[in-house]
Amino acid sequence: MNILCLGVNHESAAVEIRERMAFAHKHLAESLHEIQALDSIEEVVVLSTCNRVEIYVTSQNMEPGFDQLRSYLDNHFEMQVGETVDFYKLHNEGAARHLFAVAGGLDSMVLGETEIFGQVKKAYADAQQAGSTSRTLNKLFQQTFRAGKLVRTSTQLTRGATSVGSVAVDLAEKIFGNLSTCRVMLIGAGDMSRRTAKSLHSRGAKSIIVSNRSYDNAVKLAEEMDGKAIHFDHWSDSLNEVDIIVSSTAAPHQVIHAEMISAAMPQRGHQPLFVIDIAVPRDVDPAVSDIENVYLYDIDALEGIASQTRNERKKQVAFCDQVLDQFIEEHGIEALVPSPGGPPQKTPKSDQIHSQDSASSQALPES
Amino acid sequence: MMQTPMDKIFLIISTVCFFGGFAYAVNGLRAGRHHDNRANLLVMGVGFLFLCATLYLRGEIHHRCPITSLHEVLIFLSWSMVLLYFILGKTFRLSLLGVFTAPLVLLFQLAALVGFFLEGEPAAIGKDTDKIDGWLELHASVSLVSFGALALAGVAGLMYLVQNRQLKRKQLKALFYNLPPIRYLLTAVVRLIVIGVVLLTIGTISAFFMRNVPIPLHQGLSILTWLAYVILLALYLSKRIGNTKFAQGAMVLFSLPILILLIL
């Protein structure tokens, strides 16, 4: 029995190709049954996300298996004559290792992101529900979840945050712990502050006050987050009531001065204040950073931390590979996927496959 | 007669365990593998069991609470610190407290080991029950547990200062991701000082009922320590000092209990 993987990802195919090839979730069971019905295919799991479409199958015969899969995809997605798609073809240990790396976030566009682990789990659960998996893929995916978890827990690949919004949330949690008791004030209702506030809201911050020059916009954003809007002239009155300030006004001058914060701090007792300044030009006087219990982060500081995390994650890739090598050695992937056709494939290979079928072009919804 | 070497062996094993746990945790932090600290806790737990066994054997020798010499006092202090860490570390959500506590425990145990190997035959003080003073036992044991709590308060204060410095300077090192939030650390410092002060109150008061009242310097230092921690707490709770000074105070004031132990 061979394990085969045929797929495209964010590196091998442009978004136009990936969105055409995405499997619609509501038709997934049907597609799984169609693939399983192919002569050479026995088991199948389809992993279809924004950044990848990968089909994992088991087949007694490797080449016919790949050929039939390719033909199925050409037909299913109505590829036109001469259309070129950079599929990668992996088999046995190569396919297993690739799946482990995918589940561990090593093959993601944002290196180390953890959402993919849940997507792999969902893909497997969907296939199980559709009855398209059996002994080999069941074992492979169980091993995959162990390998993915191992990569996440035994390396620094997932440590830190890689976007400005998530860095702000991470910092807030390192200052306050549980955010459910934190009160947040947004000064300015721009896109960045909206996204940051939503991140904080999603991590538990409940009480949100929005202040904006346009009161209507403040009301609109406050309603989105079950918060309350206040007039821009009155935001400083609420300084001693909030724990986190997100400022992103379009003002050409500083809006929050050190004197204002200094005056508000005694009324706050020993409670820290986290000030996030994502405006350019900056809204907050840098001297605010010198006040005890006040933590000021501007856009450069946040981006710097995100960038540092991305670099750290890149440095972790070699170590993650070692972890996977050790996992494969310890868990005997060869026993799981015996390869009668030759020695196990160590490194992923990519074959360019040209679509042969003629059909009309039709965009498919992204799952 | 066979018990005497065993207590030393147990103490050596315990010290090795704490050293191993500390080295493992530091290595894990450097490699970013501190998420799974069960192995570290296990090693610390084994070290604690051997420490219990050491104290038990010393108690059997003396027929009383094994705090008859400075090195036994240091072992008892290490024991109370590790015990409080196991009890309170989880409650106060203080991951990494063990990593910060271990060096202090190691230092105490190494000093105790030197004392163990230099001492002569330990005396069976408690065999003559007339010599046992219940108030002395209460004073010494409760005071030492209070010192354990105050030591942990100093450790939590140090953790706060490290985390605060990283946040202020915007330089987030490996420790940043493993240290608890600063709000939890400050809460822990307050609670540990309260626990320490309450126990120290009992310890200091019980000293007045002892058959042989301690020397004035010892008694004076105990009262000074109690007073210093009460003042620190009062200043903080009345908002006269900020978080940084409070954390620094918790660290610096631990020199007073150390001084008390040194003049024993």
Residue B47 lies in a domain: yes
Chain A hits for B33, CB-CB cut-off 8 Å, are 153-155
Q: What is the pLDDT of residue B157?
A: 95
B56-74: pLDDT as tens digits = 998 888 887 887 788 888 8
Specify whether the backbone of B96 is left (phi greater than 0), alpha (psi in -120 to 50) or beta. Answer: left
Looking at residue A163, its pLDDT comes to 84
Answer whether B93 touches A (CB < 8 Å).
yes
Average pLDDT over residues B189-214: 90
What pLDDT is recorded for position A137? 94
Residues B149 and B259 in one domain: yes
Cα of A19 to nearest chain B Cα, Å: 37
- Mutant choice from B35, B91, B189 vs A, greatest count of A C-beta within 10 A: B35
Token digits of residue A43: 């088991």
Q: In this complex, do A177 and B184 lie within 8 Å of one another by their Cβ atoms?
A: yes
- In angstroms, rounded to a whole number, what is the distance separating the alpha carbons of residues A275 and A30? 51
Q: Are residues B51 and B158 in the same domain?
A: no
Residue A231 phi/psi, 5-degree rounding, is -70, 150
pLDDT at A360: 30
Residues B157 and B219 in one domain: yes
Would you place residue B124 in the very low, low, confident or very high pLDDT band (cuts 50, 70, 90)? low
pLDDT digit string, tens, across residues B127-185: 566 667 788 888 888 998 999 999 999 999 999 999 999 999 998 887 888 888 999 99
* Average pLDDT taken over every residue of chain B: 84
Interface check for A262 against chain B (CB to CB < 8 A): the answer is no
Domain ends where: B100, B120, B140? B120
% residues pLDDT > 70 (chain B): 86
Residue B212 lies in a domain: yes
Please tell me the predicted confidence (pLDDT) of residue A210. Answer: 93
- CB contacts of B167 in chain A (<8 Å) are 171, 174-175, 295
- Is B256 inside any structural domain? yes
Which of A240-244, A284-288, B136-140 is the most confident on average? Answer: A284-288
Question: Does the pLDDT value for residue A347 go beyond 50?
Answer: no
Among the partner-chain residues B31, B168, B246, the one whose CB lies closest to the CB of A295 is B168
Query: Is there a single domain that holds both residue B80 and residue B187?
Result: no
| Contact between chains at A270 and B163 (C-beta distance less than 8 A) | no
Of A155, A175, A304, the CB nearest to B181: A175
State residue B260's pLDDT score. 84
Q: How many domains does chain B have?
A: 2
Average pLDDT (A39-52) is 93
Among the residue ranges A324-328, B111-115, B119-123, B135-139, the one predicted with the least confidence is: B119-123
Interfacial A residues in 178-217 facing B (CB < 8 Å): none
Interface A-B: count of C-beta contacts within 8 A = 60
Q: pLDDT value at position A209?
A: 93
Are B187 and B112 in a shared domain? no
Is there a domain that residue B140 lies in? Answer: yes
Question: Any idea what DSSP says for residue A231?
Answer: E
The answer on B160 and B113 residing in a single domain is no
Q: Same domain, yes or no, for B105 and B145?
A: no
Q: pLDDT value at position A356?
A: 34
Name the band, by pLDDT with cuts 50, 70 and 90, for residue A343. Answer: very low
Give the residue numbers spanning the domain of B192: 132-264
- Written as six digits, the tokens of A320 are 């993650």
Are A160 and B181 inside 8 Å of each other by CB?
Answer: no
pLDDT of residue B122: 65
String of DSSP letters for A56-120: EEEESSHHHHHHHHHHHHHHHTTPPTT-EE--EEEETHHHHHHHHHHHTTTTSSSTT-SHHHHHH
Note whether B115 and B151 are same-domain residues.
no
Across the interface, do B172 and A160 touch by the CB < 8 Å criterion? yes
> Is residue B82 classed as helix, strand or coil in its secondary structure?
helix
Within a domain: residue B12? yes
Asked if residue A95 lies in contact with residue A144, where contact means CB atoms within 8 angstroms, the answer is no
Residue linked to tokens 């379009």: A250
- pLDDT of B33 higher than 70: no
Q: Say if residue B144 is in the same domain as residue B222.
A: yes
pLDDT at A259 over 90: yes
Q: How far, CA to CA in Å, does A8 sit from each of A25, A262, A268?
A: 18, 55, 54
Residues B173 and B261 in one domain: yes
pLDDT-based confidence at residue B37 (cuts at 50, 70, 90): low
Residue B125 lies in a domain: no
Sign of the CA dihedral with B106 first, then B112, B116, and B117 last: positive
Mean pLDDT score, A362-366 = 30
Read off the pLDDT of each residue in A255-269 and give the average, rounded to a whole number: 91
pLDDT tops 80 at residue A350: no
Question: Which one has a higher pLDDT value, A192 or A83?
Answer: A192
- Same domain (yes/no): B182, B157: yes
pLDDT at B123 over 80: no
Yes or no: say if A247 and A276 are a contact pair by the CB < 8 Å rule: yes
**Cβ(A294)–Cβ(A288) under 8 Å?**
yes
- Condensed to tens digits (0 to 9), the pLDDT of residues A173-211 reads 999 998 998 999 999 988 888 888 888 888 888 789 999
Residue B126 lies in a domain: no
Contact B16, B113 (CB under 8 A): no
pLDDT surpassing 80 at residue B12? yes
For tokens 């019980």, the residue is: B206
Query: For chain A, what percentages of helix, strand and coil (3-state, to nearest 5) are there?
Result: 50, 15, 35
Among B67, B91, B120, the domain-final residue is B120
CA distance B182 to A134: 50
- CA–CA distance, A216 with A220 (Å, rounded to integer): 6
- A329, HSE (Cβ side, Cα atoms, 13 Å): 6
Q: Does A114 touch chain B (CB under 8 A)?
A: no
User: Could you say which of B120, B143, B174 is where a domain stops?
Assistant: B120
Q: Which residues pair with A230 in a beta bridge?
A: A211
The closest alpha carbon to B36, from B21, B23, B25, belongs to: B25
Q: Could you list the active site residues of A?
A: 50
Assess whether pLDDT exceeds 90 at residue A18.
Answer: no
pLDDT of residue B177: 82
**Residue in B closest to A273 by C-alpha:** B183
| CA-based nearest distance B257→chain A, Å | 27
- pLDDT value of position A156: 82
Nearest CA-CA partner of A168 in A299, A282, A268, A313: A299
Is B247's pLDDT higher than 90? yes
Query: How many angstroms separate the CA atoms of A234 and A187, rounded?
Result: 11
Residues in chain A closer than 8 A to B31 (CB atoms): 156
Beta strands in chain A (DSSP E): 2-9, 41-48, 52-59, 84-85, 88-91, 183-187, 207-212, 228-231, 244-247, 273-277, 294-298, 353-354
CA closest to B92 among chain A residues: A177
- Let me know if residue B43 belongs to a domain: yes
> What is the average per-residue pLDDT within B84-90?
79
Taking alpha carbons only, the member of B91, B84, B202 closest to residue B152 is B84
Domains of chain A plus CATH, in order, are 2-158+310-354 (3.30.460.30), 164-292 (3.40.50.720)
Query: For residue B214, is pLDDT > 50?
Result: yes
pLDDT of residue B91: 66
Residues of A with Cβ-Cβ distance to B180 under 8 angstroms: 177
Same domain, B101 and B144: no
Q: Per the CB < 8 Å rule, is B32 touching A156?
A: yes
**pLDDT on residue A345:** 40
